[in-house]
Chain A
């Protein structure tokens, strides 16, 4: 495992990805150690979601060296799957199925027991509504179910795309033990978070990456970055 051997969990060198002629990511280089949190800021279309999807092995990098959890992408993507949790804009859950059915389905795909599903339903306070189809639940409830889905298999690397977008403050607190700093069985879960919230994002970050038009325009330790610099990214 990458963290045990001292190898960074993420090691990117000149990562590029394009859609047809448009560069979605260009020359992104960074390193992230086990237990650290990278927060990615940038306006809409800056490449944040593309970066998360490349790290999740859902998109192939078109150039550069990309190592995730010690494995090179895209050639060793098979070794990364199951060790990464992705919480994106879509919950990746079936609307017609209940929260319990959805989570049990994902549990089977990851070789996780049904008891873990019940534990997570209780953690995100969905036990009482767990047998109702997802399409009847509020967006916040669906987001809580999606958090449970993303953390079901205790991933070593958590990729979070605006994770609290649909959550009220109480719901944010509920999911904190699952996706917050120090979450995970060892308390050393590595996270990459995309955010539009300068103050909240900086609180969580160890390293800050600012993207604009797919290019890194800011990469520094969070302690050296002020909220004004983040706000400037959006101008």
Chain B
């Protein structure tokens, strides 16, 4: 009998397919980026102030990134559900965890591209303090928050896509679960978005983010198989 592919070979095949489909359709990342930039413009006018900093800046940044991420989460499994990708995957002799990992990695990549556009746009349109000084520390916060959003987003998207009200159910399930990520990320980035020399992000909040990532990574790993089952 033919040897089935290993976990990482399967993850590689799925991730490659995922990115190829996104490159062809441009259904997720451009929409997410455009949404974020538009939201910053709206905030710019709605707040009636030229610049923001500190807690206010961190709140605006993370709420905007969270809602932009929701657009990607909602689309994550749509092609698989509508075009039979789930069935094709389930027919293959592969570890089902591979789909969780590939989808989470794809969502992480979408978030990274979103932030490549959104964070500089935020710096230009709204943020008072210069961004470059705090960038290395902010990068750590972004990575930790993105891991959490990717794990929770993948889990929720897999659940929501099998329902008729998937566009509604995705955000309804994901947003409450992502509130701790937004709190952690906003608190950790707030000291980085001030005029005084960055004091370094708060370690306590980074640890909270990392712990939340770990917990939801393990939950997703434990239940993902059951979401794919009939």
Listed in ascending order, the chain A residues whose CB lies under 8 Å from chain B are: 1, 56-60, 78, 81-86, 88, 90-97, 101, 105-106, 108-112, 133, 149, 153
Contact status of A106 and B83, CB under 8 A, knowing A59-B230, A97-B21, A111-B3: no
Within 8 Å by CB of B24, from A60, A90, A111, A133, lies: A133
Contact status of A91 and B84, CB under 8 A, knowing A106-B92, A108-B9, A153-B2: yes
New A-B contacts (14) at CB < 8 Å, excluding given A95-B83, A96-B25 = A58-B90, A58-B91, A81-B93, A82-B91, A83-B1, A84-B91, A90-B84, A92-B91, A108-B12, A108-B13, A109-B10, A110-B2, A110-B92, A149-B88
> Which among A85, A111, A153 has the greatest number of chain B C-beta atoms within 10 A?
A111
Beta-carbon contacts under 8 Å, B1-47 to A: 1-5, 9-10, 12-13, 16-17, 20-21, 24-25
For A86, the chain B residues whose CB sits under 8 A away are 87, 91
Are A106 and B88 touching (Cβ within 8 A)? yes
- Check if B211 is an interface residue, CB within 8 A of chain A: no
Identify whether the interface residues of B are mostly helix, strand, loop, or mixed. Answer: helix
Q: How far is the CB of A111 from chain B (nearest CB, A)?
A: 5
For A94, the chain B residues whose CB sits under 8 A away are 17, 21, 79, 83, 85
> Which among B16, B17, B21 has the greatest number of chain A C-beta atoms within 10 A?
B17
- Check if B67 is an interface residue, CB within 8 A of chain A: no
Are A81 and B90 touching (Cβ within 8 A)? yes
Contact status of A92 and B87, CB under 8 A, knowing A108-B5, A110-B93: yes
Are B92 and A81 touching (Cβ within 8 A)? yes
Contact status of A109 and B5, CB under 8 A, knowing A91-B84, A94-B79, A96-B21: yes
For A91, the chain B residues whose CB sits under 8 A away are 84
Beta-carbon contacts under 8 Å, B47-78 to A: none
15 A-B Cβ contacts within 8 A? A81-B93, A82-B91, A83-B1, A85-B91, A93-B83, A93-B84, A94-B85, A96-B79, A97-B17, A97-B24, A106-B92, A108-B13, A110-B5, A110-B93, A111-B93
- Check if B89 is an interface residue, CB within 8 A of chain A: yes
Q: How far is the CA of A60 from the CA of B230 in the complex (A)?
A: 6
Contact status of A112 and B87, CB under 8 A, knowing A58-B230, A59-B230, A82-B92: no
B229: nearest chain-A partner, CB-CB: A60
Within 8 Å by CB of A82, from B2, B83, B229, lies: B2
